[in-house]
Every structure is written in C-alpha cells, then in structure tokens.
Amino acid sequence: MSGLTTSSLGRKVAMSLSGFFLITFLLVHLGINLTLFIGADTFNAASHFMATNPLIQVMQYVLAAGFVFHIFMGIWLELKNRASRPIKYAKNNAAANSGWASRNMIYTGILILLFIILHLKDFFVKIKFGEVHDDYELVTELFKNPIYVLIYVIAFILLGIHLSHGFQSAFTSVGARAPKYLKYVKNIGMAFSYFIALGFSIIAIYFYFA
C-alpha cells in the first residue's frame, strides 16, 4: 500500500482506481434515479432496495471510504504537482493533458464536494434519519425549488467537466497510453461525461416543470 500512495505513479494509480469506483457509483446512481421517470412506485422500490439490501449497506461504507480517499489523494497530488511545476507537471501529464479541465481538477473537485455535502443533507440524512415515507415525493418536491435546480445543474456541469479529464486520466494512469487507445479512451470519456451531466440535469429540470 505504501508504494501505491508514496510514489508519484502510485498516487496516480490510487487516484485512478478510486476514480473508477466512483464512476461505477455514478452509473448505478443515475440508473436508479432514471426510474423516477417510470413512476413513484418503481423509484420507491429501487430506493428501498438500496436502503435495505445488506450488500449495498456494506458498499455504502466502501463508497464513503472511496470518496474520502479520492479527495485526500487529489489534494495531495495537487500539492505535490504544485511543488514540482512547471517542468515536471507538463512532462508527467503530456498524454493526459486536456486543457482547462485538467488544470482545474482541484477546483471542480472541491465544488463537487460542496455539492455532495448539500446533497447528503437533503436526501441521504433525511431518508436515513428523518421521517421520510416517500422518497419519490422528497425528490420531486425539492426540484420544485428553482434555486435548488440551478445549484444542482451547475454541480452536474462541473461534474461533467471533472469527468471529461478524470475519465481519460484514470485510464492513462493505469497504462492505456498508446496513441491508438488514447483516441478511444478520450471519446468514450467525453461521451460518458455528457451522459452523466445531461442525465442528472434532465431529471432536475424535468421535475421542476412537471
């Protein structure tokens, strides 16, 4: 473990492994949220399953650990990169460099973290510790508030930007650097980023107007 977190390459690999894990979480989370369009019963059943299934309960702790790890490693990586910039940074990231998104990962990351704190307060904490009987109603009621929808959509756009670099960076850090793969990795990364940002945004906007 120490090699994984103390060497520069090890830190990048650790970042990418936790990133892959969070990418999987986002796909599952969006999949469940899209059942909001089917109707209250389906979404409530999916939400109930997620809240009661023993395996998912264990995975929630792994998820929390994955988030904390990703955040701390991200901050550490940023500080290390700052200390060794500009030459080393440019050299280390030649393959993965994608302009604005890659240079601002720390800022988009911090803003996404603020969103997650707000989001957990409004959904997770209320469902887990409050008196919520209908998850569908909780979600759809919150999206009647335009300020809320705006904050959420901004957060989803930032998440898309973060992923537009993070996705391809996760692959290049674990070795997918050959030019013939890089093109595909970049394209799939962009498609995935749009899918996540638009998928979550459409939910918030739809239920504002619904």
Smallest separation (angstroms) from ligand HEM to the CB of 87 = 34
Cis peptide preceding 54, ω within 30 of 0: no
Indicate the residue among 68 and 178 with the shorter CB distance to ligand HEM: 68
Indicate the residue among 17 and 157 with the shorter CB distance to ligand HEM: 157
Q: How far apart are CA 203 and CA 140, in angstroms?
A: 9
Indicate the residue among 128 and 183 with the shorter CB distance to ligand HEM: 128
Residue 27 contacts residue 92 (beta carbons within 8 Å): no
Which chain residues interact with ligand HEM by CB under 6 A?
Answer: 29, 33, 47, 50-51, 60, 112, 116, 119-120, 123-124, 127-128, 135, 139, 156, 159, 200, 203-204
Smallest separation (angstroms) from ligand HEM to the CB of 13 = 22
Residue 110 contacts residue 122 (beta carbons within 8 Å): no
Smallest separation (angstroms) from ligand HEM to the CB of 190 = 18
Smallest separation (angstroms) from ligand HEM to the CB of 140 = 9
Indicate the residue among 50 and 77 with the shorter CB distance to ligand HEM: 50
Smallest separation (angstroms) from ligand HEM to the CB of 33 = 5
Indicate the residue among 95 and 157 with the shorter CB distance to ligand HEM: 157
CB environment 52-81: b (16+ within 10 A), e (fewer)? eeeeeeebeeebeebbebbbebbeebeeeb
- The amino acid occupying position 31 is G
Q: How far apart are CA 46 and CA 32, in angstroms?
A: 6
